[in-house]
Amino acid sequence: MKVIRTVNELTSITKELKQQQQSIGFVPTMGFLHEGHTTLMDESKKYAEVLIASIFVNPLQFGPNEDFERYPRNEERDLEMAEAHGVDYLFLPTVEEMYPVRSTVTVSVHNRTDVLCGRSRPGHFDGVATVLTKLFHLTKADFAFFGLKDAQQVAVVEGLVDDFNFDTTIIAVPTVREIDGLAKSSRNVYLSEQERDEAVHLYKSLQVGKQLIIDGERNTDMIREKVKNYIYANTSGRIDYVEILAFPSLTETEQLNQQVIIALAVQFSKARLIDNVIVDLQRTLPKASV
C-alpha cells in the first residue's frame, strides 16, 4: 500500500492508472476505520482492479457546534486496517492540502437535504458534495462505495453524480452491524456502558416499524409513534427524528407500496447515533450485513 499526502502525487498516479486502462474503486472515509469501512473496501475488490481510499476529516461538513476537533482519529491503526483490506493507495491529505485557498466555488445541494439529518445540519451536505466533487475528480474513480447506514448521504451523492454527469458509478453497500444489531460507527466509542446497552434498541425499534409495514399498516403517523414509543421505553436517548420517506427521493409519501426508508437519529450524552432500514416490498435491495 502506498500512502499519498499531496494532490499532485494523487493526480499523477491516477493519470497513469487510466493510461494503463485499469479500473479504479474509491472508498472515501473520515478515518477511525471500523468494519463498516473495511466492508466497503472488500466490496471494491469485486468491481475494480485498483482500490484508492481516502482519510480526510472534512471541516466543511461540520457545523459550528459540532465535533470536528473531537472527531476520533487514529492514523497508525487506520494504516494497518487499510493495508490489511487491500487498499492500493491511501490518500491522507491535510486540510491545507485540500483547501489551500478560500474556495471560489462550492457545491450547494437543494434537494434531499431538508429532511432527516439535513434538517438540523444546514450546510452539511454542501460540504459533503464539495469535498466529494474534488475527490471524484482527483481519483478518477470508476466506482465509489458508500454505506447505507447514512442513506441520506447515499441519496445526495447519487444526485450529485447524476446532475454533474460524473463518470462514476455509486455502489450502496448494506449497513454493517455489531452482533447485537447496533450499526457500526466511529462515534460508538463515545457511548457510556449503559448507553451502549441501550443503543441496541435503535435497530430493534426500526424492526418494529418495518414489521408493521410488512403486516399491512399504512398509517405513517401511527408507525412513527410506535417506533418512538419503543425508543422512549428502552433508552435514555433524546429522539432527534423518526421519519418515513420514499427512497431515494426522500420525499413524504402516504403510499407505502413503494420503496421507503424508516430513519432515526437519537442523541445520547456524548454521541448522536443514526440508523435506518429500507423497506422494499419488491425485495430488490440486498439484505443488510450483520
CATH number at residue 263: 3.30.1300.10
Annotated active-site positions, please?
37
- As annotated, the binding site includes 30-37, 61, 147-150, 153, 176, 184-187
Residues of the domain holding 233? 186-279
The reply to whether 141 falls in a domain is yes
Pick out the residues of the known binding site for (R)-pantoate. Answer: 61, 153
Q: How far apart are CA 36 and CA 153, in angstroms?
A: 15
- Domain-ending residue, one of 126, 146, 173: 173
Average pLDDT, the chain: 92
Ramachandran angles phi, psi of 230, nearest 5°: -65, -45
- Are 231 and 123 contained in the same domain? no
In a domain, 46, yes or no: yes
* Whether pLDDT at 284 is above 50: no
pLDDT of residue 283: 57
Domain-located, residue 181: no
Q: Is residue 202 part of a domain?
A: yes
Q: What's the CATH code of the domain at 60?
A: 3.40.50.620
Q: What is the pLDDT of residue 71?
A: 84
**Together in a domain, 37 and 134:** yes
Q: Which three cell numbers stand for residue 29?
A: 472515509
Label residue 287 by pLDDT band (50, 70, 90): very low
Phi, psi of 23 (to 5 degrees): -80, 145
Query: Which three cell numbers, joined as nine digits, stand for 103?
Result: 474556495
* Residue 290 covered by a domain: no
Instruction: Examine the domain organization and report whether 139 and 268 are in the same domain.
Output: no
